[in-house]
Amino acid sequence: MRIMYLIVAVLCLLITSCSQQSSDPVDFVNPNIGGISQLLETTVPLVDLPNGMMRIYRLPGNYQAEKINGFPFILCGHRNGTAGLIMPTSGKIFADMKKWQSYYDHDFETCTPYYYSVRLEDQDIDLELTVAEKSSYYQVQWNKNEQKNVMIGVTTKGLLKVVDKNTVEGYEVYQNKVKVFFYIKTEKSFYTDTIWNENSSRNGTAELSGNNPTLGLTFQIPGQERTGIKMGVSFVDSDQARKNLESEIPDWEFRTSEKQRKGEME
Alpha-carbon distances of 182 from 18, 45, 54, 236, rounded to whole Å = 44, 22, 11, 10
Q: Buried b / exposed e across 41-58, counting CB within 10 Å, b at 16+?
A: ebbbbbbbbeebbbbbbb
For a pLDDT cut of 90, what percent of the chain falls above it? 65
Residue 164 makes CB contacts below 8 A (sequence gap 6+) with 205
The one-letter amino acid at 145: N
Q: What domain range is 102 assigned to?
A: 2-265
CATH number, domain at 147?
A: 2.70.98.10
pLDDT band at 223 (very low <50, low <70, confident <90, very high): confident
Most confident of 190-204, 208-222, 239-253: 239-253
pLDDT above 70: residue 32: yes
Structural domains of the chain, count: 1
**pLDDT given for residue 222 in this prediction:** 87
Torsion angles phi and psi, residue 21, rounded to 5? -70, -20
- 60 cis-preceded (ω within 30 degrees of 0): yes
CB 123 within 8 A of CB 184: no
Q: What is the tens place of the pLDDT at every residue in 94-116? A: 999 999 999 999 999 999 999 99
Average pLDDT over residues 16-30: 65
